[in-house]
């Protein structure tokens, strides 16, 4: 039967091995994202992008389209807010009424339970 110390060492060794593998995978991912291995491809992509002249009219049109979409979304959010406020108002009113009814019922119970 293995002692607790041997089990503990095995668990620590296993955990260290798993952490080492994870660390290695993270390093590989960082290297790929930074483009260390494919520097010439990244440089070519940057140069191609730099050589194109942006189309101002197309950019304005895209901005106008996005603003229209935002306006539509804002209207929908406004109507949703009104709906929520209406429903919350109704719930608040019901809660107020129920609280008043509970207080009245407790007062009645208190009067009935008093020794006479």
- Say if residue 1 is in the same domain as residue 50: yes
Determine the structural domain holding residue 95 and report its residue range: 68-116
pLDDT at 11: 77
- Say yes or no: 83 and 34 in one domain: no
| pLDDT of 61 | 92
For 109, the 3-state DSSP assignment is helix
Given a cut of 60, is residue 36 above it in pLDDT? no
Q: Is 37 among the domain residues?
A: yes
Q: Are residues 47 and 78 in the same domain?
A: no
Higher-pLDDT residue of 36 and 9 is 9
Distance, in Å, from the CA atom of 75 to the CA atom of 68, rounded to the nearest integer, reads 11
């Amino acid at each position: 039967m293995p002692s607790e110390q041997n089990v503990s060492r095995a668990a620590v060794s296993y955990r260290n091995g798993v952490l080492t593998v994870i660390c290695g995978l993270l390093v590989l991912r960082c290297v790929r994202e930074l483009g260390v291995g494919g520097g010439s491809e990244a440089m070519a992509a940057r140069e191609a992008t730099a050589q194109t002249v942006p189309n101002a009219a197309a950019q304005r049109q895209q901005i106008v389209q996005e603003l229209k979409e935002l306006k539509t979304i804002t209207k929908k959010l406004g109507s949703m807010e009104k709906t929520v406020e209406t429903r919350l108002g109704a719930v608040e009113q019901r809660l107020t009424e129920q609280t008043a009814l509970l207080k009245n019922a407790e007062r009645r119970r208190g009067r009935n339970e008093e020794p006479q």
